[in-house]
């Protein structure tokens, strides 16, 4: 034998026998001193980490973002300059299902991207839809509770879902997309991604522009009908993992065209809709999509847990030249995503290799559980506070972004006032031909099964406010007259 490495305990001592435990005679009991056995069993008990409360089931891969367009007049972010090539990681997911859920379920898909830029990690934490169910984050935990299991039955509840939606008309846009053909993509490769939130770009002159990011599939849109998924899920619960992993393994690298919509800063006061409302899109006619590059996924993870389960995406990760916006949902996610990772992965989640920036990192955070980065990140043991006289890292004033204009008195403004929850849904409904509309009605009726008639009626009344044909179609499909 051999130049194979020696198997060791996790503290490095060689393991003489990994087939037989230590027992008092061939038929005798175990000995406590068999630490090798105890370590193995104890380790197994700790293999799982907290499941994500949402987006638990996911699929991901590494890739590259190449910028081919020129938006340098809007942003000085290095990652967005012409010809920039940036290594990246993508994780796609369903929202409601647990880690073992079937892949081909009707649900919104998460579309989370991490770009390892020379100025730090930039994360875009989007979905395969351009909008969301709610616009005020104070409603988010309640909304998610309606999508997860009922506390008593431990089953998903059509009553809870439609009760919440029918009492929250701002959800109509996203509900319509979810119940349309795009509600069940055949794989992560056959769907678009949207940054969804309004972010901002800023340039050397200190000018700010609002921006929306779009990732358009080059594999084409492909979707399953409800009926088709019965067979698909019956045959395999892992169709997305099989498709994404298999395609990359075969050298067929999925690609998305990267586009932006750009809005001059002061336009935000003029649009008929609130451009920071996550239940709204910016109509293409007003703000056309500009091609800026291509995203390609071209490398499978070597270890799913280390590189995909451990991946921590957060909209708080931005870089100079890219900024936030007054989008209320974005503001809440800036806190809650990073906080979810502190809970799920620990205080130093950003030192896990897949989350580590590929540029130098210097800060004064110290200690805490799982500090595996050697104490502090200042490069000098005496520079453990700031300001200091020991050549510790200092601020970079050139990275200061222009002021975010905020105007108004602090109050609990009714988020429904002045917000049209129906017009953009009607614009979408008008894109659907009759066959698509009939599938929409049938998908809604199927999802409403088990919900009380009173709730169904309330929801049908909302659909009718979008378009009387929408209300009538769902009424017919459910057999419930509004």
Closest by Cα among 222, 223, 296 to 257:
296
Cα–Cα distances in Å, from 377 out to 30, 350, 382, 392?
46, 13, 12, 9
| Cβ closest to ligand NDP, residue 181 vs residue 421 | 181
Taking the complex as a whole, the smallest distance from the CB of residue 223 to ligand NDP amounts, in Å, to 8
Tokens of 20: 């037989």
Would you say 293 and 65 are in contact if contact means Cβ atoms under 8 Å apart? yes
Residue 281 is given by DSSP the state P
Closer Cβ to ligand NDP, 193 or 392, answer by number: 193
User: 156, 346 in Cβ contact below 8 A?
Assistant: no
Neighbours of 383 (CB within 10 A): 18
Which of 149, 89, 153 is closest to 117 using CA atoms? 89
- Shortest distance, CB of residue 102 to ligand NDP, whole angstroms? 22
CB of 191 to ligand NDP, least distance (A): 9
Q: Tell me if residue 367 falls in helix, strand or coil.
A: coil
408 Cβ contact list (under 8 Å, min separation 6): none
Q: Which of left, alpha, beta for 153 (phi over 0: left; psi -120 to 50: alpha)?
A: alpha
Judged by beta carbon, residue 284 or residue 366, the one nearer ligand NDP is 284
**Separation of alpha carbons 441 and 180, rounded Å:** 9
* Residue 461, phi then psi, degrees to nearest 5: -60, -35
Least distance from C-beta 183 to ligand NDP, angstroms? 8
Return the active site residues.
55, 127
Q: Which residue is nearest to ligand NDP (CB)?
A: 428
Binding site for ligand NDP (CB under 6 A): 130, 177, 180-182, 192, 214, 281-285, 424, 427-428, 431
Name the packing angle between helices 453-466 and 158-166 (round to 10°): 40
- CB closer to ligand NDP out of 55 and 280: 280
**Does residue 341 contact residue 105 with C-beta atoms inside 8 Å?**
no
- Shortest distance, position 192 Cβ to ligand NDP, whole Å: 5
- Helices 140-147 and 158-166: crossing angle in degrees, nearest 10, is 150
Nearer CB in complex with ligand NDP: 22/289: 289
Bridge partners of 185?
A: 223
Place of tokens 């017919």: 476
Considering the complex, what minimum distance in angstroms separates the CB of residue 156 from ligand NDP? 23
Q: CA 97 → CA 71, 94, 243, 314, 412, distances in Å? A: 38, 6, 19, 20, 33
Q: What is the DSSP string of 293-337?
A: EEEEEEE--S-HIIIIIT----TT---TTEE--S-HHHHHHHHHH
Q: How far is the CB of 412 from ligand NDP (least distance, A)?
A: 28
Based on the number of CB atoms within 10 Å of its own CB, is 388 exposed (0-12), middle (13-18) or buried (19 or more)?
middle
CB of 290 to ligand NDP, least distance (A): 12
| Contact (Cβ atoms closer than 8 angstroms) between residue 265 and residue 220 | no
| Choice between 192 and 478, CB closer to ligand NDP | 192
The smaller minimum CB distance to ligand NDP, of residues 32 and 431, is found at 431
Complex with ligand NDP: residue 104 or 354, whichever CB lies closer: 104
């Amino acid at each position: 034998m051999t130049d194979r490495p020696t198997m060791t305990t996790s503290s490095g001592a060689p393991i003489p026998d990994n087939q037989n435990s230590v027992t008092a005679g061939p038929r005798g009991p175990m000995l406590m001193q068999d630490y090798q056995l105890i370590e193995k069993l104890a380790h197994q008990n700790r293999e799982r980490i907290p499941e994500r409360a949402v987006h638990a089931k996911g699929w991901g891969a590494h890739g590259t973002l190449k910028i081919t367009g020129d938006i340098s007049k809007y942003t000085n972010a290095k990652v967005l300059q012409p010809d920039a090539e940036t290594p990246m990681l993508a994780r796609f997911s369903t929202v409601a299902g647990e880690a073992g859920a079937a892949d081909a379920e009707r649900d919104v898909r998460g579309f989370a991207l991490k770009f390892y830029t020379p100025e730090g990690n930039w994360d875009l934490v989007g979905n395969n839809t351009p909008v969301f169910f709610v616009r005020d984050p104070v409603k988010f935990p309640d909304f998610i509770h309606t999508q997860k299991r009922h506390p008593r039955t431990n089953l998903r509840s059509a009553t809870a879902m439609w009760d919440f939606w029918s009492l929250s008309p701002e959800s109509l846009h996203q509900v319509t997309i979810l119940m349309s053909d795009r509600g069940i993509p055949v794989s992560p490769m056959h769907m678009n991604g949207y940054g969804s939130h309004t972010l901002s770009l800023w340039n050397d002159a200190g000018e700010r522009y609002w921006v929306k990011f779009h990732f358009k599939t080059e594999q084409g849109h492909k979707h399953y009908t409800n009926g088709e998924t019965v067979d698909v899920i019956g045959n395999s619960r892992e169709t997305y993992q099989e498709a994404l992993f298999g395609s990359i393994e075969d050298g067929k690298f999925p690609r998305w065209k990267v586009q932006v919509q750009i809005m001059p800063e002061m336009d935000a006061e003029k649009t008929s809709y609130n451009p920071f409302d996550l239940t709204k899109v910016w109509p293409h006619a007003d703000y056309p999509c500009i091609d800026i590059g291509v995203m390609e996924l071209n490398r499978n993870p070597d270890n799913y847990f280390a590189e995909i389960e451990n991946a921590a995406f957060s909209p708080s990760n931005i870089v100079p030249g890219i900024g936030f916006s007054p989008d209320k949902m974005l503001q809440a996610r800036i806190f809650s995503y990073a906080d979810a990772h502190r809970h799920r992965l620990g205080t130093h989640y950003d030192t896990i290799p897949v989350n580590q920036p590929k540029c130098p990192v210097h800060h004064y955070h110290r200690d805490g559980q799982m500090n595996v980065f050697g104490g502090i990140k200042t490069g000098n043991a005496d520079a453990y506070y700031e300001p200091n006289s020991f050549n510790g890292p200092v601020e970079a004033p050139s990275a200061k972004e222009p002021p975010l204009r905020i105007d108004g008195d602090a109050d609990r403004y009714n988020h429904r006032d002045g917000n049209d929850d129906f017009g953009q849904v009607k614009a979408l409904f008008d894109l659907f031909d009759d066959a698509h509309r009939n599938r929409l009605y049938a998908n809604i009726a199927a999802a409403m099964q088990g919900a009380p008639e009173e709730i169904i009626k309330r929801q049908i009344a909302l659909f009718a406010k979008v378009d009387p044909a929408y209300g009538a179609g769902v009424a017919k499909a459910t057999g419930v007259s509004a």
